[in-house]
Amino acid sequence: MKLIGKTLVNLSRGLKDSALGHISMYEKRNGNMYNVYYVEARYFGCKEVDPILNKTVLEERSDDDYHYSLDTFFNDESRYFGWDIEFGESPDGAGYEFILTK
């Protein structure tokens, strides 16, 4: 898998005042997109999507204690902060495109 983007996500409504998460987005060798979701730096779940058919191939969640609205928050691009704003340079140092930033 190849890391192609990361973004911080505002998860604060309905959970606690300052809840944050992030998404790491990868491209698999077969061309599918693989997103890994984190809530407060803890693994939350993942989703693999076939970009040609735009269909979910695999989806899992590790913790049922979180409200289902987290899925909505993770998919709402208006909640994305980007990654470079908070953490500076990209992981590989140059030429990195943050495709999940708004």
- In a domain, residue 74? The reply is yes
Round the average pLDDT of the chain to a whole number and report it: 76
Q: How far apart are CA 30 and CA 89, in angstroms?
A: 28
pLDDT for 100 beyond 70: no
Cα gap 19→86, rounded to integer Å = 15
pLDDT tens track for 63-90: 666 566 677 778 788 888 777 644 445 4
Q: Which domain holds residue 78?
A: 2-87
Q: Is residue 8 part of a domain?
A: yes
Task: For residues 85 and 101, give the distance between their C-alpha atoms in angstroms, rounded to a whole number.
Answer: 10
Residues 40/46/50/55 CA torsion (nearest 10 deg): -90
Does 16 fall in a domain?
A: yes
Does residue 41 belong to any structural domain of this protein?
A: yes
79 part of a folded domain: yes
Identity at 42, one-letter amino acid code: R
- Has residue 99 been placed in a domain? no
Q: 33-49: per-residue pLDDT in tens?
A: 999 988 887 888 889 99
Amino acid at 18: S
User: Is residue 100 domain-resident?
Assistant: no
- Number of folded domains that form the chain: 1
The pLDDT of residue 30: 94
Q: Is 53 in contact with 78 (CB distance < 8 Å)?
A: no
Examine the pLDDT at 101 and tell me if it is beyond 50.
Answer: no
**What is the mean predicted confidence (pLDDT) over 14-20?**
64
